Amino acid sequence: MELWFTEKHTEHVKLSIQVDEQLYSSQSEFQRIDIFSSKEFGKFLTLDGYMMLTEKDEFIYHEMIVHVPMAVHPCVKKALVIGGGDGGTVRELVRYLEIEHIDVVEIDEEVVEACRRYLPQTACGFADERVHIYYDDGLKFVRKFVEEYDLILVDSTDPFGPGEGLFTKEFYGNCYKALRADGIMVNQHESPFYPNDATAMQRAHKRIVESFPISKVYQAHIPTYPSGHWLFGFASKKYHPLDGQDVARWKARGIKTRYYNEQLHKGAFALPNYVEELLEKVEGA
């Protein structure tokens, strides 16, 4: 008998991955958590039936959410990760020795516990002594801070369910307030391809543009996300993501990556015309 995980990407499109075994399944206070093993993608985590990460392609998402801003900001000392309960974003952040303190605010402790047990490849970052985990709603948590962080990474689920508040104008305004005078925020910005995802992406973009003086979008190819074409938002108080990229400083750290490199950093901000048009439509609106 064959066992398949299927995620509906639109009313008429589904992605299916053959499953070897269901390793974990639980209904937490916030969402349904499942972890499967598979031949093609290794172990993978889904929340409420939506793909969060697979062992095979998570490096793309996690490298791109972390190394792009880290190659721009000259000195991140204190960082905040909002969501990110699988640990992949933190794993990439702890590779930077200059970072002194990393706060993680994750709404669902069960995600962290399940990932610690079944996905050590990503959860290993949590073991670093600079990492402090708070179990709280990111929307509430970030309200408390003024000029506290150099970098905020919004590694959230999609704009419905527990992640909904992390796409609001209030949230982005509070992230702005919580960042120091040269702070950067990067968020997972959804996909431009299917109309429902594109609408969510435009809504988020409009709100970020209204909150930050510099707001650019970059892309990556993530095979297991809807359409495989994914965007990130780079919002900043001071540094431009291309003019501010310091290749020599980044290379001097000797961080080995599988996806990110300094050429790709530049190329990732060169967007297809249809994506530029979607963004422009809401930038002036």
Catalytically active residues, by annotation: 155
| CB-based contact 50:124 (threshold 8 Å) | no
Site for ligand SAM in 181-240 (CB under 6 A): 188
Binding segment (CB under 6 A) for ligand SAM, from list 73-81, 136-144, 172-180, 243-251: 136-144
Binding segment (CB under 6 A) for ligand SAM, from list 69-77, 160-168, 191-199, 210-218: 160-168
Does residue 61 belong to the site contacting ligand SAM (CB under 6 A)? yes
Does residue 165 belong to the site contacting ligand SAM (CB under 6 A)? yes
Position among 163, 192, 233, 244 found at the interface with ligand SAM (CB under 6 A)? 163
Neighbour-count burial for 258-283, b at 16+ CB within 10 Å, e otherwise:
ebbbeebbeebbebeeebeebbeebe
**Residue number, nearest CB to ligand SAM:** 83
DSSP H/E element including 82: strand 78-83
| CB-based contact 122:112 (threshold 8 Å) | no
Does residue 90 belong to the site contacting ligand SAM (CB under 6 A)? no
Pick the closer one to ligand SAM by CB: 190 or 239: 190
Q: Choose among 178, 225, 209, 229: nearest CA to 279.
A: 209
Residues in the interface with ligand SAM (CB under 6 A) total: 25
Give the separation between CA 123 and CA 83, rounded to whole angstroms.
Answer: 13
Structure tokens at 60: 């793309």
Give the separation between CA 103 and CA 24, rounded to whole angstroms.
Answer: 27
Position among 17, 19, 35, 52 found at the interface with ligand SAM (CB under 6 A)? 52
Using CB under 6 A as the criterion, which residues of the chain lie in contact with ligand SAM when the complex forms?
A: 47, 52-53, 61, 82-86, 105-108, 111, 137-139, 155-157, 162-163, 165-166, 188
